[in-house]
Amino acid sequence: MKLWALCTVLMVATPLAAAREATYLVKGPVQPQSRAVNGYAQSVVPTGRNHFRVQVATDMGPIGARAETAGPTSERAEGVPKGFELPRRLAAALRPDDGPWTRATEVLRWVMRAVRVDADDPSPQDAVSVLARGRGRCSGLANAAVALLRRAGFPARTVSGLLVGNDGVIAHRWLECRLPGAGWVPTDPTLGIWVITPRHLVFSGPVGRIPDVRVEKRSEDGFEGVPTVVGWLERPNVGADLICRAIGKDPGGQVVAELRGPEGEVRRAMLRPEGKFMNLRPGVWHLTVRMGLRVIDRRSLKLESGSILSFAVPLKTAPEEG
């Protein structure tokens, strides 16, 4: 199943629309859990007995894992079933000279290709069973991914909670993997790779009885700027760098470069004479350079993961904007 095929037919009827920020009013005996990891933050404030206000925010920007090798250790493989080994083809694809993000991403890609999401699967959802039959519920997919990541040398854990759809709320499970330099990074393999949304609400364990969840506010701005690789959304590890340099006679005034990103993000830098924009999310950015109130350069730039773009802006004035 592809992007919107999550762990129940409830989500198939109404496609999941991503929101970068959301606030929910939750009523139930089990309290949601505050959490802060790379790309996801959830804060929980009790507002009364069994009543909670839950605020969620996500960031689809580059992860920032360090490019160092990561091999399996007995400590990191803790929790893996006895005798559990990586499938032969997956083991062959995990080259020792690849960095941790590349290796962990390859594991997640393999799971998403090898295991089909079946919301009605009545069989056991442990990693060995799910991988053997090639299908499972969201919990089975998360269990399989965690077991493979651990065997490949990465600390990983499942995360339980709720998924808030347009037509209702369902119990859901996803996972987090720890990458060097980036900490714990969440990912929902029913949705994409290293992708999470503010529709994911974290609880301390599996939610048996679905609480009442009401949306207080939620932005709906899609996954613009998140690359798609082999049909799946994939949050990048490394962003792009942009260096903008002003050349020519010093006008004696301020020269400011403004960048507007694929999700409305705005960054500004003074050109003295050089301004740097670091770790930008891949996608199309719109640059405007002003000298005082006058626009002296305007252009669109397509930035790719890991790219470094540098160019000069002549200090000449242009007609004022109408």
Residue 106 burial by CB count (10 A; 0-12/13-18/19+): exposed, middle or buried? middle
Closest by CA to 300, choosing from 283, 313, 315, is: 283
Predicted local confidence at residue 48, as pLDDT:
95
Same domain, 93 and 186: yes
Give a yes or no: residue 17 inside a domain: yes
Predicted local confidence at residue 129, as pLDDT:
94
Same domain, 65 and 211: yes
Same domain, 310 and 296: yes
Give a yes or no: residue 1 inside a domain: no
Q: Could you tell me the residue range of the domain that residue 142 belongs to?
A: 9-234
Same domain, 111 and 154: yes
Q: Is the Cβ–Cβ distance between 65 and 182 less than 8 Å?
A: yes
Same domain, 60 and 187: yes
Same domain, 75 and 110: yes
Q: Is the Cβ–Cβ distance between 136 and 125 less than 8 Å?
A: yes
Measured between its terminal Cα atoms, the distance across the chain in Å is 50
Same domain, 185 and 248: no
Residues ≥6 apart with Cβ < 8 Å to 280: 239, 240, 241, 242, 259, 261, 267, 303
Distance CA 151, CA 20 (A): 32
Specify the CATH number for the domain of residue 307. Answer: 2.60.40.1120
pLDDT tens by residue, 1-36: 333 333 433 333 333 333 489 999 999 999 999 999
Distance CA 171, CA 125 (A): 15
The reported pTM is: 0.76
Residue where a domain stops, chosen among 234, 264, 287:
234
Give a yes or no: residue 322 inside a domain: no
Residue where a domain stops, chosen among 234, 257, 273:
234
Distance CA 230, CA 69 (A): 25
Specify the CATH number for the domain of residue 175. Answer: 3.10.620
Same domain, 287 and 268: yes
pLDDT tens by residue, 138-161: 999 999 999 999 999 999 999 999
In terms of DSSP bridges, do strands 232-234 and 240-247 run parallel, antiparallel, or are they unpaired? unpaired
pLDDT tens by residue, 102-134: 999 999 999 999 999 999 999 999 999 999 999
Strand partners for 255: 291
Residue where a domain stops, chosen among 174, 201, 234:
234
Give a yes or no: residue 77 inside a domain: yes
C-alpha separations of 168 from 8, 9, 213, 223 in Å = 11, 11, 9, 21
Coil/strand/helix, residue 77: coil
Coil/strand/helix, residue 162: strand
Question: Radius of gyration of the chain from Cα atoms?
Answer: 23
Strand partners for 85: none
Distance CA 229, CA 112 (A): 12
Give a yes or no: residue 178 inside a domain: yes
Same domain, 309 and 288: yes
